[in-house]
Amino acid sequence: MRALLQRVAHARVEVEGRITGQIGPGLLILVCAMQGDTEVQADKLAARVAKCRIFRDENDKMNRSVLDVGGSCLVVSQFTLAADTSSGNRPGFSTAAPPDQGNLLYQRFATALRELSLPVEMGEFGADMKVSLLNDGPITIWMDTADRA
């Protein structure tokens, strides 16, 4: 699974004019399930995200996690994180998980974050979403479970 984390002061997602999720300080997490991913990858990614030390400590160093600071998570599905731009001008997305599997793993990822005691808000899988945020830093981190054994 892939995720793009953004440390935010606040963020929200809307679908057809209605807010489906919004948070104050915490993480906006754009997430994509890849072909072959399972709940194991969803759980591992959630654990990595929860422990990622990208929030400031008392010495202004990035040394605290979203758990440490009592932040929230806004989880938004984004299959375009699977974009293959290696040839041509139009990205391909064939490495993304099929929609049914992608939705299950998106839901599992959010559940795994909740099981780690994080408040979680969500977008709507497969919808045309409008995401707004105030990036804090800016801090943006890429994670991919394929990067680790």
Cα distances from 106 to residues 55, 70, 114, in angstroms, run 24, 22, 13
Yes or no: say if 11 and 74 are a contact pair by the CB < 8 Å rule.
yes
Task: Give the active site residue among 80, 93, 109, 125.
Answer: 80
Alpha helices in the chain (DSSP H): 39-51, 66-69, 99-115
Task: Give the active site residue among 6, 41, 55, 79.
Answer: 79
Q: Would you call 55 a catalytic residue per the annotation?
A: no
Q: Would you call 78 a catalytic residue per the annotation?
A: yes
Q: Would you call 79 a catalytic residue per the annotation?
A: yes
Task: Give the active site residue among 6, 41, 78, 145.
Answer: 78
The catalytic residues are 78-80
